[in-house]
Amino acid sequence: MKAVWFLVSCYILSMFIQSAMGGKARHFKWEVEYMHWSPDGEEGVVMGINGQFPGPTIRARAGDTIHVELTNRLHTEGVVIHWHGIRQIGTPWADGTASISQCAINPGETFLYRFKVDKAGTYFYHGHYGMQRSAGLYGSLIVDVAEGEKEIFQYDGEFNILLSDWWHKGSHEQEVDLSSNPMRWIGEPQTLLINGRGQFNCSLAAHVSNSSASPCKLRGNEQYAPHILRVHPNKTYRLRIASTTALASLNLAIGNHKMLVVEADGNNLQPFSVDNMDIYSGESYSVLFTTNQDPSKNYWISISVRGREPRTPQGLTILNYHPNSASKLPPSPPPIAPRWDNYEYSKSFTNKILALKGSPTPPPTHHRRIFLLNTQNFIDGHTKWAINNASPPDRFRPDYDVMRPAANQNSTYGSGVYMLRFNTTVDVILQNANALRANVSEIHPWHLHGHDFWVLGYGEGKFTEKEEAKFNLKNPPLRNTAVIFPFGWTALRFVADNPGVWAFHCHIEPHLHMGMGVVFAEGVRRLGKIPNEALGCGLTGKMLMNNVNN
Ligand code: C2O
Ligand code: CU
């Protein structure tokens, strides 16, 4: 009895120490390397971590400190890893953005990422140097509620899926294609991957679809065999979904099952029920679903391309009801996604995303409003995505016609760094426009590092100050990624309260590579001593250290 009490009090004491020190330390030793892999049945080269693709899943509790000792085994190129959705409060040098928060880690060298995961939620990590995310450098990062706390939603089990898209052409060749003159577009992905697994040139649904695809001949241990979700009847599951696609916007559905959307980007939502959902690159969600369908069957889980004319087959896996065999294929075809260009459908889904009651609300007014016009331009004949036809002014010309190809299609290079006064409230109005060709305007999911922002609203055409009356200040969702629809605008608000230098960019890898991003620098003077290894090279860090006046 005494021993038990001793153990119990030790446990209580350790809990105290843990919470006083803010959670546990979790240590990881990772090596990044190129490996031969068959993500979709065709062998190619991926960037893996410790011999795995996708990289290992990090699982932690809110308040824990993550230590990742990352060694670059790539031989001829640098590497960094960005922890997407983690705000890096007080540790901006661990944000993992090459040339913004740190220098790329040289071949053979090791860098220690040490940062706190302060908020429960569904996140992921990925390479942020060149097009290394396209090369497959990514994995999941799941943060559970702090020790002793309860999730606010009840469920019996959970799954985690990370969505991506895959090209047979290597990422280096893609980089050369995009930056050549004239630009060569990379085209649509060959395959959509669920947890790094997809099927090229064969279909799991061949027996029920009328396409010409042949059935997949899979053995269970194949690298491209689908990751099956095994469930029991009459239970509720949480499905965590994150998208790290290079290009594709997706729509996800579970055949016959409704989904209750409860989390977005690590923030709780006012739950709403859907048959399928859109997910853009850089976003994450949690949905709850109940296994209340005919238990003698299995069901499809499908992802389909949205917003671009699809040339890529659906990505598929199976919801496997116990005790059915996992190889028992669903008897009906996979769910049909809304038409790729049905933007009204996307907008109505997006407009349902609202913060759960009791979530933090935005300051009622802003100190500064930055307008970022997204245009496709030529710079010396190279195709680029420019912001305000050259950064960094706060606004673009008021007579700019967002509905037509630009009269002057040229742009210039700018530094794109915005200095924000510490602790001020900043609005960003993302303004979409016509791309180079007439009647073309693309989707761009913009992602902010170092913060969550409130999404105050979406609108059509060119933003005017009148639209401010329509801003949602009552229950706007907090997110780290928000989409701008074709020919539309999106209004965001955040508080510049996290000293550091933060990237803000379109999460479509080729768009970022073609210039679609800016940098926000705030309160840099307030940073304590920056670890030396994070300052060894790179213009931005040094420039900011020397020249910051806020
Ligand atoms: Cu997930 Cu700067 O991106
Ligand atoms: Cu974009």
Q: Is the dihedral of CA 397, 415, 362, 261 positive or negative?
A: positive
CB 131 within 8 A of CB 171: yes
**CB–CB of 50/131 below 8 Å?**
no
Give residue for tokens 């000293």. Answer: 499
Pick the atom of ligand 1 nearest to 97's CA: 2
How many helices and strands, by DSSP H and E, does the chain display? 5, 30
Distance from Cα 489 to the centre of ligand 1, integer Å? 21
- CA of residue 266 to ligand 2 center, whole Å: 22
Looking at residue 387, its pLDDT comes to 84
Digit-coded pLDDT (tens) for 99-142? 888 889 999 999 999 999 999 999 999 999 999 999 999 999 99
Ligand 1 and 128: CB distance under 6 A: yes
The CA-based angle 529-530-532, given to 5 degrees, is: 115
pLDDT at 302: 98
d(Cα 316, Cα 95) in Å, to the nearest integer? 33
In contact, 429 and 372? CB cutoff 8 Å = yes
**Is 14's pLDDT higher than 70?**
no
CA dihedral 263, 264, 268, 273 (to 10 degrees): -50
| Structure confidence at residue 407 (pLDDT) | 73
**Could you give the dihedral angle defined by the CA atoms of residues 524, 525, 531 and 532, in that order, rounded to the nearest 10 degrees?**
100
CA 77/CA 75 separation, integer angstroms: 6
According to DSSP, the β-strands at 488-495 and 453-460 are: antiparallel
Residue 447, ligand 1, Cβ within 6 A: yes
221 CA → ligand 1 middle, Å? 32
Mean pLDDT of 390-404: 69
Position in ligand 1 atom list of the atom nearest CA 84: 1
Instruction: State residue 21's pLDDT score.
Output: 52
Whole-angstrom Cα distance, residue 59 to residue 341? 37
Cβ–ligand 1 distance for 240 under 6 Å, the answer: no
Angstrom CA distances, 387 to 21, 186, 412, 432, stand at: 43, 22, 10, 10
Question: Which single residue is written with the structure tokens 């230590």?
Answer: 67
Burial class (CB in 10 A: 0-12, 13-18, 19+), 437: exposed
Rounded CA gap, 514 and 231, in Å? 43
Q: Which ligand is nearest to the CA of 127?
A: 1
Specify the pLDDT at position 103.
85
One-character DSSP codes across 236-293 = EEEEEEEE--SS-EEEEEETTB-EEEEEETTEEEEEEEESEEEE-TT-EEEEEEE--S
For range 308-323, the mean pLDDT: 96
Best CA proximity match to 316, nearest among 203, 196, 166, 162: 203
Task: Quote the DSSP letter at residue 334.
Answer: P
Residues near 484 by Cβ (< 8 Å), separated by ≥ 6? 374, 430, 431, 432, 443, 444, 446, 458, 490
> Which pLDDT does position 1 carry in this prediction?
40
| Nearest residue to 61 (alpha-carbon basis) of 151, 163, 187 | 151
pLDDT in tens, 416-428: 889 999 999 999 9
Q: What is the mean pLDDT of residues 56-71?
A: 97
Q: Does residue 503 line the site of ligand 1, with CB under 6 A?
A: yes
84 lines ligand 1 (CB under 6 A): yes
CB 279 within 8 A of CB 306: no
Report in angstroms the alpha-carbon separations of 115 from 88, 95, 550.
Answer: 6, 9, 25
Answer for the pair 193, 39: CB distance below 8 angstroms, yes or no: yes
Average pLDDT, rounded, for the chain: 90
Domains assigned to the chain: 2-144 (2.60.40.420), 157-351 (2.60.40.420), 368-545 (2.60.40.420)
Ligand nearest to the CA of residue 450, numbered in listed order = 1
Of ligand 1's atoms, which has the minimum distance to the CA of residue 505?
2
Dist CA 136 CA 52 (whole Å)? 10
Token duo for residue 265: 């980007």
Calculate mean pLDDT across residues 48-55: 98
- Specify the range with the lowest mean pLDDT, choosing from 232-236, 340-344, 345-349, 402-406: 402-406
Cα–Cα distance for residue pair 485/491, rounded to 1 Å: 12
Say how many Å lie between the CA of residue 516 and the centre of ligand 2. Answer: 7
Name the band, by pLDDT with cuts 50, 70 and 90, for residue 219.
confident
C-alpha 386 – ligand 2 centre gap (Å): 10
Q: Where do runs of H (alpha helix) occur along 388-500?
A: none
Q: 506 C-alpha vs ligand 2 centroid, how far in Å?
A: 5
Question: For the ranges 151-155, 185-189, 211-215, 288-292, which has the lowest average pLDDT?
Answer: 211-215
- Beta carbons of 49 and 90 less than 8 angstroms apart: no
Nearest-CA residue for ligand 1 atom 1 is 84
**Quick one: pLDDT band at residue 380, thresholds 50, 70, 90?**
confident
As a whole-number percent, the residues of the chain with pLDDT over 90 amount to 77
Q: Confirm or reject: Cβ of 82 under 6 Å from ligand 1.
A: yes
Closest ligand 1 atom to residue 281 Cα is 1
Cα(318) to centroid of ligand 2, in Å? 31
CA distance 357 to 258: 23
Evaluate: CB of 449 within 6 angstroms of ligand 1.
Answer: yes
What is the Cα gyration radius of the chain? 23
